[in-house]
């Protein structure tokens, strides 16, 4: 599949429930536990419901993608296709005043950049801003860095924590959308990108986070004293409740096409039943 477990539940999601979970047990991350929660719990539940875990997606097509280099150029259609290297990033981000805009109908926690062989070889500084009644920067984790200090030296995810005051606006006469603006302090030499998608918070995030915390606290008594068994049991119960609450919403997070690996507008509106074999017949296979 095209996403990392971090797309579905991050350490920041865990900290939102347990603010000291990254410090009290001497861990720097809980990636192994998050993956266990997905592979050993979420995925079997999905499969038992008739939903293919390998088609679960956290990434969706953007509603707008624009390059700005003195004037706007619309790349929305190209961002949605799987054609490689058809968005000339090196020609869009030629200087610090140029930008690449991505807009979505819902707030998103990052963008996924797909690249092939046309990658950047230049040391640059990436800035991501979102519209909070003015353009304001957010701290990002840049997964496009294959060579230190060189954004877009590979494809990957650029992620951030979603602020509460993100609001919609139009860009280049678009509809009012949640926009992120990507900029560099110089051209990303030679870089071209293909499919671009926005990374949204999954409805399974709470269930996966709580199950991950249950695994953490089940193991905690071997690390230090504390009421960990009771916490583990509580999170296990809450994870089950969270899973039950979101089942009617699951269908909209499944890719039912074979030509891409992101959610399009029709899939975002589908039900669990239509994702599980019915509905959207034109969109399927």
**Rounded CA separation 60/259 (Å):** 14
What pLDDT was estimated at residue 122? Answer: 96
- pLDDT reported for residue 236: 97
Predicted pLDDT at 283: 45
pLDDT, averaged per 10 consecutive residues of the chain (285 residues), comes to 76 92 86 93 93 92 97 97 95 95 97 96 97 97 95 96 96 98 95 96 96 91 72 96 94 86 90 75 41
Which of 257, 141, 241, 148 is CA-nearest to residue 199? 141
Name the 3-class secondary structure at 242. Answer: helix
Query: What local confidence, expressed as pLDDT, does residue 25 receive?
Result: 84
Q: For position 280, what pLDDT does the model report?
A: 44
pLDDT given at position 256: 87
For helices 228-246 and 205-219, angle between their N-to-C axes, nearest 10 degrees: 160
Give residue 23's pLDDT: 87
Q: What is the pLDDT of residue 246?
A: 94
- Overall size of the chain counted in residues: 285
Considering only CA atoms, which of 241, 220, 211, 202 is closest in space to residue 38?
211
Beta strands in the chain (DSSP E): 59-60, 64-69, 71-74, 99-104, 110-113, 126-131, 135-137, 141-142, 156-159, 178-184, 196-199
- The pTM of the whole model exceeds 0.85: yes
């Amino acid at each position: 599949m095209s996403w990392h477990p971090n797309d579905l539940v991050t350490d920041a999601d865990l900290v939102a429930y347990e603010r000291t979970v990254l410090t009290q047990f001497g861990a720097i991350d809980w990636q192994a536990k998050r993956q266990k929660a997905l592979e050993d719990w979420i995925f079997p539940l999905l499969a038992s419901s008739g939903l293919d875990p390998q088609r679960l997606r956290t990434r969706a097509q953007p509603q707008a993608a624009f390059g700005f280099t003195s004037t706007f150029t619309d790349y929305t259609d190209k961002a949605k296709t799987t054609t490689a290297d058809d968005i000339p990033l090196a020609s869009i981000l030629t200087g610090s005043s140029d930008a690449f805009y991505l807009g979505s109908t819902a707030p998103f926690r990052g963008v996924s950049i797909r690249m092939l062989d046309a990658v950047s070889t230049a040391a640059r500084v990436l800035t991501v801003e979102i519209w909070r009644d003015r353009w304001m920067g957010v701290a990002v984790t840049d997964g496009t860095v294959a060579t230190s200090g060189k954004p877009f030296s590979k494809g990957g995810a650029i992620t951030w924590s979603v602020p509460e005051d993100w609001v919609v606006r139009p860009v280049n006469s678009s509809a009012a959308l949640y926009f992120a603006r990507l900029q560099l302090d110089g051209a990303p030499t030679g870089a071209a990108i293909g499919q671009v998608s926005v990374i949204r918070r999954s409805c399974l995030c709470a269930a996966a986070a709580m199950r991950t915390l249950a695994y953490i606290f089940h193991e905690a008594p071997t690390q230090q004293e504390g009421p960990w068994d009771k916490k583990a049991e509580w999170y296990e119960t809450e994870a089950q409740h969270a899973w039950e609450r979101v089942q009617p919403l699951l269908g909209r997070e499944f890719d039912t096409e074979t030509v891409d690996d992101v959610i399009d507008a029709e899939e975002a509106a589908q039900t669990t039943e239509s994702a599980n074999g019915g509905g959207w017949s034109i969109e399927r296979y």
